[in-house]
Amino acid sequence: MRISTRPTSSCSHQVWLSPGLHNLLTTRRGRLGLLLTSAFIIGAVALGGRVYGQHLAYQDMLERDRAMRQLETESQRLERQRANQNDEVATLRARLAQVQDKLDTVMPARDTFSMDPNRSVVVADGRLTLGLVGLPTSNGVIINVNGKQYTAAAGDVIHVSNDASAPCRVVVQSFDVFNATVTASCSEPKTH
């Protein structure tokens, strides 16, 4: 069927519609059917979009929960690892303190030394070997310096020369019945 028999414009094209489409667009029943069909299609697309959106949201929620469980497991593993490392650090610190105590007994801290009877220590960067001979008496102590024995009281200074380029001195700071405290140092060797 042709809508118009005469052209309304200078356009030479004419639009031809089938009789079913013409009835659909021009009759009240056809327009109502077209409107209901369009509404049904729009509703179906909206409902399908909602269902698909819920499906995607559910999948995202499952993935999020899985990631949270994985992170929680990883966090617990790292916490156990950190606790183990803290235990190891504490153990190593205790061992270091024991080793340092033993080292201080053999080579004490620079310049000041507590000496026990019949024990020797290497001091002044290895230039002097000091030993307390026997127990201290009320008058003084007997100190062995590099194999030579000296009797000294608190405040006495013992001058030792290994060689002329590096003179050393040992000062008795104090003593009691069980040990003596001394300072020992050597000057830097003279360079020619």
- How far is the C-alpha of 42 from the C-alpha of 36, rounded, in Å? 10
Same domain? For 20 and 63 the reply is yes
Domain boundary among 44, 77, 106: 106
pLDDT value of residue 177: 85
pTM, two decimals, is: 0.41
User: In this structure, are residues 113 and 184 in contact, taking their beta carbons and an 8 Å threshold?
Assistant: yes
Number of domains present in the structure of the chain:
2
Is 2 inside a domain boundary?
no
Same domain? For 32 and 96 the reply is yes
Same domain? For 101 and 118 the reply is no
Same domain? For 101 and 121 the reply is no
- How far is the C-alpha of 20 from the C-alpha of 42, rounded, in Å? 23
pLDDT tens string, the chain, 192 residues long: the values are 455 555 555 656 666 667 777 667 778 887 888 889 999 999 999 999 999 999 999 999 999 999 999 999 999 999 999 999 999 999 999 998 888 777 766 665 567 888 888 888 888 777 888 899 988 888 889 999 888 999 999 889 998 886 666 788 888 888 888 888 888 888 776 665
In the three-class reduction of DSSP (H, G, I as helix; E, B as strand; rest coil), residue 136 is classed as: coil
Domain boundary among 79, 106, 133: 106
158 lies in which domain range?
Answer: 108-186
User: Structure tokens of 80?
Assistant: 């156990």
pLDDT value of residue 1: 47
Cα-based torsion angle of the residue sequence 168, 173, 176, 178 in order, rounded to the nearest 10 degrees:
-40
Same domain? For 49 and 83 the reply is yes
User: In this structure, are residues 162 and 178 in contact, taking their beta carbons and an 8 Å threshold?
Assistant: no
